[in-house]
Amino acid sequence: MIRCLLIQITRNSRGQSVRKEQYITGETIQIGRAAECAVLLSDARVNLHHAVIRHGVDGELYIDGLDGEDLYVNESFQSHAIFKPGTQVLIGPYKLVVEPDREENDLVFSIAHTDSLQTEDTEAQKFPLTLAATRLSKRRTAWMLSWIIALMFLLLPLVQGLALEDAKWMSYLPFSEYWNVGQMSHGHRSFGAKCNSCHQGPFEAVADKACLNCHKTPRHIQDAMLHDRVFKDTRCASCHLDHRGELEKLNLNKQCALCHGDIKAKYSKSARANIHDFSVDHPAFTLTIKDGKEEGVVNRVVQRDKEVIFEDSGLKYSHKVHLDKEGISSPQGDTVMDCKDCHQLDEAGVSFKPISMEKSCQQSGCHSLDFKPPVPDRPLPHGSEFKLMTTLNEYYTKAAVDEMREGTTRRCGDEPTIGNDLLERAKNCANNKVEVNTNALFKEKDGCIECHDVVAQPDNKEIPWKIRRVNITRHWMLNAQFPHAKHSTAKCIECHDKLNSKKSSDVSLPNIGKCQECHVGKQMEKGKISSSCEGCHIFHGEKNQQSDNAIKD
């Protein structure tokens, strides 16, 4: 919250300076010509929303230009600047000067009109400056202006709103904008001039059916019966307030708390806790843990239950070995690895691209899947036991047949071949090589067993070994979103403690306390970021939503 002392400097008819003081408080202080601005500058050279004063992450006060408008700060144009004592900002004909702090105010600044209120132009005296001097009737002029205002701002917008579908030319006229009470939200700006897209009747509230014309049936709770029971009397517009532009986000915490502040009043059987604010009473995070034994089965676990939080992914991997500060042995020598060597952000900057053997492990030259002994420029396929066995059989069968055609009588290692026929000798030789390679690849330390759980299949001659399916969790919190790109200023290990992790089953997700070191809820706190519920939670994503009947927190 910003507590500000505003000093307005004007001049009276005698040219004397007059100072008027006024206190202003708010999470942000908007400056502009619009009526809702805390600092109102009624001059046509000032935009409706020209600038805003806000707290920065570092605790300092900043002034930002809005709608791409640069500000003339301390004799240079800047998009934003620190608003501290001595700073001078020109906004239209007004000059803002930050003065030294007085009492317990966060900010003290004065505003003065830089244009002279009096003119020395004697030629101006030749023109009439009063209505009486124009010889016009006050009453007649007032009635004329009243009718013009009624026509322009009442009748014409009303006619445009009631226009029939065949009168499409009416949609190109600007009259409907006269009734626009504020800037539309980002998602609705594309049809902001077509009021009847949402307002389907004059002087009527926006009905839910208007929203459903564009939006798929939204649900806050996946269970349809429970959703209808909880929200049966709730209109979309009760929570989604438009015509407020960016200010719409400031009300999200309040709207969410209407239900979640006393959740049992909405649904008495709910196992969820009451939540009013992220910093005050938000519970510990709940993680979605995959069941490694059965595909599609997940368990919901509260993060404070450390003994049951582990990932049975079917992989063997040690972050401690790979992130050793002294480096890890590689074809290029001892190499010090970083998280980004394997974890690459996706195009959206939200999650990470999947890690694969071919693109991450083999490409670096550190790991490979080779014949035993290796065959130059001929790696084995990864990810399918069937493809692996097919490749081994095809390669060694071809090699044995080629030797047979050359008339050689090689033996296959130390194992004797059967029969005198060259084709039988070639077949036995190929089978022997395939068996040796298969056992080495699946059983030896530098083979599949180094990273995977391997199970023998003695009854399956075609595929004698089976790799346990890898089941890696990509989203630990299905009902939340976390844009990693916005947190790129922090190091990965500040939130994910993987330097000492020896097992792939370790789940190193930051708890809520770690997030609260930087983020707060609706209140303002020096050095921290105010975050709304919408910043993390997805309310209308049906695929990821879970009901109280399905999840017991």
- b/e code 116-130 from CB counts within 10 Å (16+ = b): eeeeeeeeeeeeeee
Which tops the pLDDT comparison, 174 or 447? 447
Q: Please give the average per-residue pLDDT across 415-443, as a whole number.
A: 77
Task: Identify the DSSP state of 40.
Answer: E
pLDDT value, residue 408: 58
Residue 128 binned pLDDT confidence (cut-offs 50, 70, 90):
low
The two tokens of residue 490 are: 């922090």
Amino acid symbol at 44: A
pLDDT value, residue 31: 94
Per-residue CA distances from 307 to 212, 311, 344, 386, 471 (Å): 45, 12, 30, 38, 20
Residue 119 binned pLDDT confidence (cut-offs 50, 70, 90):
very low
Q: Please give the average per-residue pLDDT across 272-283, as a whole number.
A: 88
% residues pLDDT > 90 (the chain): 21
pLDDT value, residue 552: 31
- b/e code 246-261 from CB counts within 10 Å (16+ = b): ebbeeebbebbbebbe
DSSP alpha helices (H): ranges in 118-190?
A: 138-150, 156-161
pLDDT over threshold 90, residue 37: yes
- Cβ contacts of residue 268 below 8 Å, gap of 6+? none
pLDDT value, residue 501: 92
Per-residue CA distances from 124 to 120, 121, 128, 131, 506 (Å): 9, 6, 9, 15, 82
Spatial separation of the C-alpha atoms in residues 434 and 390, rounded to whole Å: 10
What are 143-167's pLDDT values in tens digits?
999 999 998 888 887 777 666 455 5
Residue 245 binned pLDDT confidence (cut-offs 50, 70, 90):
low
pLDDT over threshold 60, residue 417: no
Residue 386 binned pLDDT confidence (cut-offs 50, 70, 90):
very high
pLDDT value, residue 410: 53
pLDDT over threshold 70, residue 122: no
Per-residue CA distances from 341 to 335, 338, 344, 345 (Å): 11, 6, 7, 11
pLDDT value, residue 483: 87
Q: 486 in helix, strand or coil?
A: helix
Which residue, among 392, 400, 497, has the nearest Cα to 435 in the 3D structure?
Answer: 392
What are 526-552's pLDDT values in tens digits?
888 888 887 888 776 544 444 333 333
Find the range with the poorest average confidence among 223-237, 335-349, 412-426, 500-514.
412-426
* Domain segments of the chain as ranges: 2-113, 162-284
Which tops the pLDDT comparison, 310 or 168? 310
Per-residue CA distances from 366 to 165, 197, 361, 446 (Å): 67, 59, 6, 12
Which tops the pLDDT comparison, 129 or 43? 43
CATH class of the domain whose range is 2-113: mainly beta
For the chain, what is the mean pLDDT? 81
Predicted TM-score (pTM) of this structure: 0.56
pLDDT over threshold 70, residue 272: yes
Q: According to the per-residue pLDDT averaged within each range, which of 117-121, 253-257, 290-294, 393-397 is highest?
A: 393-397
Task: Identify the DSSP state of 173.
Answer: S
Handedness of CA 12, 44, 37, 59 (dihedral sign): negative
- Cβ contacts of residue 493 below 8 Å, gap of 6+? 339, 499
Q: Please give the average per-residue pLDDT across 261-280, as a whole number.
A: 87
pLDDT over threshold 60, residue 511: yes
